[in-house]
Amino acid sequence: MFSMAKVKYKFNPETLSYDKVERNLKSKIHRFLLFSTTSILASIIMTVVFLQFYETPKMRSLKRENRRLLSQYELMYQNLESIEDVLTDIQHRDDNLYRIIFEADPIPNSVRKAGFGGVNKYSQLESLENSELVIKTARKLDVVAKEAYIQSKSYDEVLKLALDKEEMLSSIPAIMPVSNKDLNRTASGWGFRIHPIYKIRRFHYGMDFTAPVGTEIYATGDGIVKEVKSARTGFGRWIVIDHGFGYETLYGHLNEFNVKEGQKVKRGNVIGYVGNAGTSSGPHLHYEVHKNGKAVNPQYFYFKDLTPQEYEKMIAISSNMGQSYD
């Protein structure tokens, strides 16, 4: 079979001649579809082969952009680690310097390092190429941002403490509660002592100062009178002053009061007079200092009254007393 122009002929062996081939519409459509399908498949194969071995300018540009972004993420992660190291140092100084100076509790590590629970907020990044690096960087950024926010709030608090520092310094109990320049009124100090009445070994949570009945008693720091109480036993007549900032002072065995509950007092104001009321073996003042609800040794709070030499002498006198006065 051969073709001449667009007319097809077929050899007929019976007649020994060529007969003209007539094509119907169905045959033409079939040939057209076959040709089209073959052409499309060939084009796809050629395109795949071409893309496999050759890069278009756009693909090369996208690859360069991808490498650049990866480098930026790696650099960002390294920078975030450096920032976190600096932030850790700031947090350490905040907890161990600034907050100690202003007598504030450090921020718990559980608050500073709290995680991000709940729904996985990075799930939309998991489908990305190199998702591990992207997610790690995003998570680090969130952690640093949260720690920076907590530190910022901490410095807001420290700033307030700094502004209140003058008030705090005036409020901290910092003088002896009775006039005791020659220290001859220093008696029993903090620690285990023999009780003068019960004759048993008990812990003495304050310091005793011997003085004649009627000797003036001074507020050891600015504050507000919290309690003015009277009883036949225990401290007899006593006063409690709330100095703020976690400090309170107690003055026991008074002869009479010079203040009332709710009254504001300044350091050095006369609040009462030495007596022998309650469970007491002689005229004296029982003095206590409390910090955050817990009794602490008063001897650490006479820094506005005594020189180093006087302080050492006072400690020696109070420590040698084996018996308290109450």
Alpha-carbon distance 286 to 205, whole Å?
Answer: 9
Out of 36, 53, 70, pick the residue that ends a domain.
53
What backbone phi and psi angles, to 5 degrees, belong to 167?
-65, -40
Q: Is residue 170 part of a domain?
A: no
Q: Is residue 308 part of a domain?
A: yes
What pLDDT is recorded for position 182?
67
Tell me: do 253 and 145 sit in the same domain: no
Residue 167 tokens read as 């008030």
Tell me: do 301 and 207 sit in the same domain: yes
Tell me: do 111 and 49 sit in the same domain: no
Q: Is residue 146 part of a domain?
A: yes
Q: Is residue 40 part of a domain?
A: yes
Q: Is residue 174 part of a domain?
A: no
Domain count, the chain: 3
Q: Is residue 145 part of a domain?
A: yes
Q: Is residue 316 part of a domain?
A: yes
Tell me: do 37 and 63 sit in the same domain: no
Residue 209 belongs to domain with CATH number: 2.70.70.10
Tell me: do 48 and 68 sit in the same domain: no
pTM above threshold 0.75: no
Tell me: do 34 and 11 sit in the same domain: yes
Tell me: do 14 and 115 sit in the same domain: no
Tell me: do 61 and 41 sit in the same domain: no
Q: Which 3-state string (H, E, C) describes 73-127?
A: HHHHHHHHHHHHHHHHHHHHHHHHHHHHHCCCCCCCHHHHCCCCCCCCCCHHHCC
Out of 53, 79, 95, pick the residue that ends a domain.
53
Tell me: do 235 and 218 sit in the same domain: yes
Range of the domain at 125: 57-163
Tell me: do 40 and 77 sit in the same domain: no
Q: Is residue 62 part of a domain?
A: yes
Q: What is the pLDDT along the chain (326 residues), one digit of tens a residue?
A: 444 446 666 667 777 776 666 666 667 677 777 777 887 887 777 777 666 666 667 777 777 777 777 777 788 878 888 888 888 888 877 777 677 766 677 887 777 776 655 556 777 667 666 777 777 888 888 888 888 888 888 888 877 777 777 788 889 999 989 988 767 777 777 777 776 666 767 788 888 888 899 999 999 999 999 999 999 988 999 999 999 989 999 999 999 999 999 999 999 999 999 999 888 888 999 999 999 999 998 888 887 877 778 877 877 776 666 655 66
Tell me: do 208 and 302 sit in the same domain: yes
Tell me: do 105 and 204 sit in the same domain: no
Out of 53, 71, 91, pick the residue that ends a domain.
53
